Structure 1
Amino acid sequence: MANDYLERILTAHVYDVASETRLDAAPSLSARIHNRVLLKREDMQQVFSFKLRGAYNKMARLHPDVLQQGVVAASAGNHAQGVALAAQKLGCAATIVMPTTTPQIKINAVMAMGAAVLLQGDSYNDAYKYALDLAEEKGAEFIHPYDDPDVIAGQGTIGMEILRQHPKDIHAIFVPIGGGGLISGIAAYVKRLRPTIKVIGVEPVDSDAMHRSLQAGHRVELPQVGLFADGVAVRLVGEETFRLCRELVDEIILVNSDAICAAIKDVFEDTRSIVEPSGALSVAGLKIYAKQKNLMHETLIAIASGANMNFDRLHHVSERAELGEQREAIFAVTIPEEPGSFKKFCNLLGARNVTEFNYRYADSRMAHVFVGVSVRNREESLHLMQILQSNGLKTENLTDNEMAKLHIRHMVGGRSREVSHENLYRFEFPDRPGALMNFLNHMGDRWNISLFHYRNHGADFGRVLVGIQVPPEEKQQFNSFLDKLGYSFWDENNNPTYKLFLV
């Protein structure tokens, strides 16, 4: 039973390393959504995330003889730092296995606390399997990041603090979900003492392992996960965490990357602190839930779970935040190639702020314009689209078009009518030194590359848009090549922005 966790949480050993974090008001966000929003500031722990709670509680309960053999963990970031700090405090050796894609700043942070770091594989799954084998080989204890009762109980002390810090009415607590350890611990405590409080999980739409598992009634392993919110990029949730979530969690909200970027901005505007994408996940879900349920004047609490953000990612976050807040709309507009048409188009935009403008001559009859416009909300963007169309201008709304946002807006103008048999694909590949060249080597020289656009977003994975000339009689071999390539890919041949701006 989940109630068995109450004693575990009340007696958890966390405060040798963790602090009781603040429950801060978010006045600007509260005013905007007409509810009282409070942020549980786990981003202010000494390792900038909640993970040290569970790691330390697990390790502090190990027998001294077990500790003497050392511990092993697999992690790309926050759990690694929690285990390293706990090992330093308890005086035991720690080996952390990290994917080779892990940014150097995270590796350095773990090593600075005295842990040994081994780089293995391109993904967390690769590192995890290697770490399990290593722990068995060394006779060391493996510290699981989420699927362990002592780890769950350690994270559950956050729920204990929330109820102590805010004894008044709480409508709901919003918690990011990766493997499920954090929400399981919080829900186990909160539902035991104040069952009327809703505990709501938040997952990215492309890393929704818990959501799919709860819908299916059993654990579902995702074939791949999105990597923007890397702190929750888990393909398979834990057995124990699934059991607890199935019993205790009220609902799961799914959010996209743009909504997460907007939430990072929300937290910054209220706290002047920058949380990582997974740390803003709960705020993004809170906003969607409040709107869906038409909530007014309720108290809503979001767990700001971490702040281990790579500085290089801030440009991407800033770029997408207005889209996530639905305060920017992106359109492709076709205008007549004749005197006065460009001025007419600008007049139709009115006094709205233009955030981006790309113009490309198409032929003697028409031109295509890629334009970003500041709007108040999605309704205004739809209204503006209707204005443009009613004035005879063919308009495509690209606000939700991932290829347009990632690539096209940065490469408008690359049209060619001389390229034959071109196929367009988006790829993701591990972003580390030499990775781009490795990607090209995999592509080989069998088919000609007719278009290539790459942007570094400061993330662990690079994103590439590639045009490849494939004669029709070789399409079957090409499809077989894609399946064997080992990279995530998306067919973009029917994307409207391709036809408007690139062919």
Structure 2
Amino acid sequence: MISIDDIILAREKMKGVVHTTPLDFSQTFSNISTNNKVYLKLENLQKTGSFKVRGSYNKMISLSESELQKGVVAASAGNHAQGVAYSSQMLGIPCTIVMPKGAPLSKVSATKQYGAKVVLQGNVFDDALAYALQLKEQMGATFIHAFDDDAVIAGQGTVGLEILEQLPDVEAIMVPVGGGGLIGGIALAVKEKNPYIKVYGVQTLACPSMKQSLVENQPVMVDSTPTMADGIAVKKPGLHNFELVEKYVDDIFCVDEMEIARTMLLLLERNKLLVEGSGAVSLASLLYQKVNFKEKNVVAVLSGGNVDVNFISRIIERGMVESGRYANFTLIVKDKPGELQRVLRFISDLDANIQSVHHDHFGKDIYPGYAQLKLALETKNQDHIEEIRLLLKNNGYVVGDSN
């Protein structure tokens, strides 16, 4: 098991290579979070867009000269790939990243831009991982694990040292948890310096592997469902990481997809921060009162901001739908002059913003003399949506389910 000295040494070695990311106080989120003083650790502003570069760089500078010359291999479809590629570029060593064929083009392109050779293999991550391990043997290269490695964990732990320096009176830290490298390193660094600081992990309900592992007292494999927090959707935590979490972490909480989506949207609107789903779970746990404390100095680690450009609009729309800011209505109306104008007037009178209108006269559910309206509306909240629905029904319209 690593020690606090390993993390301190990692911090010294990576000075000038990775950013000391800002710790930003948020009055808005402090007010929402039952009057805790909420600070955001902005690892989404880290080089390569996430904390991953810390661990990968620390791992690589721990290799011998002969190991460096043979290069490194990693398997990843996301942030780890870019962290390893960037670190390799800084050290001037060969780097091969194996990614599944379905990896987002933006992430493939970003990894290549850092100078890595990208190999697309298999349809899922496990296929890419198996092939990466084969390449490691063929090339004699070093495999860089995404989380289950002491040097990687030590590198991630430097986030904890920065938090202690930036906010000496911190009382609790919320950390996203996937494989456990980030929280393992942070918890060790923080608890060895001040055991009274609480360190909590946050996972998605779609893949609560670390939480379930703690229940069963060993790393276990869990089933997972699709999640926008794909960066922490790790089905089985690492052994090294589990041991650190078991020793140092106070508890693990889970948030759902609705809570993640709303938090991502709030970060965009209120703080102008683009944060990926896996990075937003820490703040979501505070905004939705998963923890039972008040008036504490709390840090939420926003672990990454690499959101695929094509996915941003869907995330925003999902967040708006979940918070009642966007709704779709389907109505059957009489096909006569002035009927469309009447419907739109009802909606405008309730201060809903009409985004789009689709008027259809033909369809299996549309009888002669009637038409179907499909309306997309910008609304205020769920109560506003229900108010619109009730008004339309009370005026004789057949209203289909929204969204």
* TM class by smaller structure: 0.7 to 0.9
One-letter amino acid of the counterpart of residue 307, structure 1: G
Contact 1:48 1:306 survives alignment (8 Å): yes
**Alpha-carbon distance in structure 2 between the residues aligned to 1:276 and 1:59:** 26
Distance 1:101 1:27, change over 3 A: same
Match of 1:315 in 2: 313
Cα deviation for residue 20 of structure 1 reads 1.0
Cα deviation for residue 141 of structure 1 reads 1.0
- The answer to whether the aligner puts 1:10 opposite 2:8 as a matched pair is yes
What pairs with 1:98-137 in structure 2 (closer than 5 Å)?
98-137=99-138
What pairs with 1:55-70 in structure 2 (closer than 5 Å)?
55-70=56-71
Per-residue CA deviation, residues 423-475 of structure 1 (Å, 9 max, x unaligned), is xxxxxxxxxxxxxxxxxxxxxxxxxxxxxxxxxxxxxxxxxxxxxxxxxxxxx
Per-residue CA deviation, residues 65-104 of structure 1 (Å, 9 max, x unaligned), is 2222211111112111211122222232111111111222
Match of 2:211 in 1: 211
Per-residue CA deviation, residues 206-258 of structure 1 (Å, 9 max, x unaligned), is 23222232233332323444252232232221111122222322233322333
Distance 1:87 1:347, change over 3 A: closer
What pairs with 1:38-187 in structure 2 (closer than 5 Å)?
38-170=39-171, 172-187=172-187
One-letter amino acid of the counterpart of residue 31, structure 1: N
**Alpha-carbon distance in structure 1 between the residues aligned to 2:308 and 2:98:** 20
Alignment partner of 1:39: what SS? Answer: strand
**Alpha-carbon distance in structure 1 between the residues aligned to 2:60 and 2:289:** 37
Per-residue CA deviation, residues 91-140 of structure 1 (Å, 9 max, x unaligned), is 32111111111222222222222221111112221111111121122221
Alignment partner of 1:167: what SS? Answer: coil
Contact 1:333 1:393 survives alignment (8 Å): no
Cα deviation for residue 301 of structure 1 reads 1.2
Contact 1:225 1:234 survives alignment (8 Å): no
Distance 1:61 1:16, change over 3 A: farther
Contact 2:346 2:392 survives alignment (8 Å): no
* Greater relative contact order (Cα < 8 A, sep 6+): 2
Contact 2:224 2:233 survives alignment (8 Å): no
Q: Normalized against structure 2, the TM-score is what?
A: 0.83
Contact 1:99 1:120 survives alignment (8 Å): yes
Contact 1:17 1:52 survives alignment (8 Å): no
What pairs with 1:262-273 in structure 2 (closer than 5 Å)?
262-273=262-273
Distance 1:336 1:91, change over 3 A: closer
**Alpha-carbon distance in structure 2 between the residues aligned to 1:329 and 1:308:** 25
Match of 1:482 in 2: none
How many residues matched? 391
Match of 1:459 in 2: none
Match of 1:200 in 2: 200
One-letter amino acid of the counterpart of residue 317, structure 1: I
**Alpha-carbon distance in structure 1 between the residues aligned to 2:329 and 2:218:** 43
**Alpha-carbon distance in structure 2 between the residues aligned to 1:321 and 1:48:** 22
Contact 2:169 2:297 survives alignment (8 Å): no
Match of 1:25 in 2: 25
**Alpha-carbon distance in structure 2 between the residues aligned to 1:206 and 1:149:** 27
Contact 1:29 1:266 survives alignment (8 Å): no
Contact 2:95 2:117 survives alignment (8 Å): yes
One-letter amino acid of the counterpart of residue 101, structure 1: G
Match of 1:222 in 2: 222
Contact 2:352 2:379 survives alignment (8 Å): yes
One-letter amino acid of the counterpart of residue 154, structure 1: G
Distance 1:395 1:119, change over 3 A: same
**Alpha-carbon distance in structure 1 between the residues aligned to 2:215 and 2:358:** 44
Match of 1:405 in 2: none
**Alpha-carbon distance in structure 1 between the residues aligned to 2:351 and 2:99:** 47
Contact 2:153 2:182 survives alignment (8 Å): yes
**Alpha-carbon distance in structure 2 between the residues aligned to 1:329 and 1:68:** 54
**Alpha-carbon distance in structure 1 between the residues aligned to 2:244 and 2:283:** 23
Unaligned runs of 5+ in 1: 399-408, 410-503
Alignment partner of 1:301: what SS? Answer: strand
Match of 1:36 in 2: 37
Distance 1:355 1:288, change over 3 A: farther
**Alpha-carbon distance in structure 1 between the residues aligned to 2:79 and 2:347:** 49
Aligned identity (percent) is 37
Cα deviation for residue 338 of structure 1 reads 12
Contact 1:188 1:248 survives alignment (8 Å): yes
Unaligned runs of 5+ in 2: none
- The answer to whether the aligner puts 1:284 opposite 2:289 as a matched pair is no
**Alpha-carbon distance in structure 2 between the residues aligned to 1:333 and 1:78:** 41
Distance 1:112 1:338, change over 3 A: closer
Match of 1:443 in 2: none
Alignment partner of 1:11: what SS? Answer: helix
Alignment partner of 2:49: what SS? Answer: coil
Contact 2:275 2:304 survives alignment (8 Å): yes
Distance 1:331 1:241, change over 3 A: same
Distance 1:116 1:329, change over 3 A: closer
Contact 1:337 1:363 survives alignment (8 Å): no
Alignment partner of 1:289: what SS? Answer: coil
Distance 1:333 1:109, change over 3 A: closer
Per-residue CA deviation, residues 170-206 of structure 1 (Å, 9 max, x unaligned), is 2x21111221111111111112222332222222222
Q: Normalized against structure 1, the TM-score is what?
A: 0.68
**Alpha-carbon distance in structure 1 between the residues aligned to 2:380 and 2:142:** 54
Give 2:379's match in structure 1, choosing from 350, 354, 374.
374
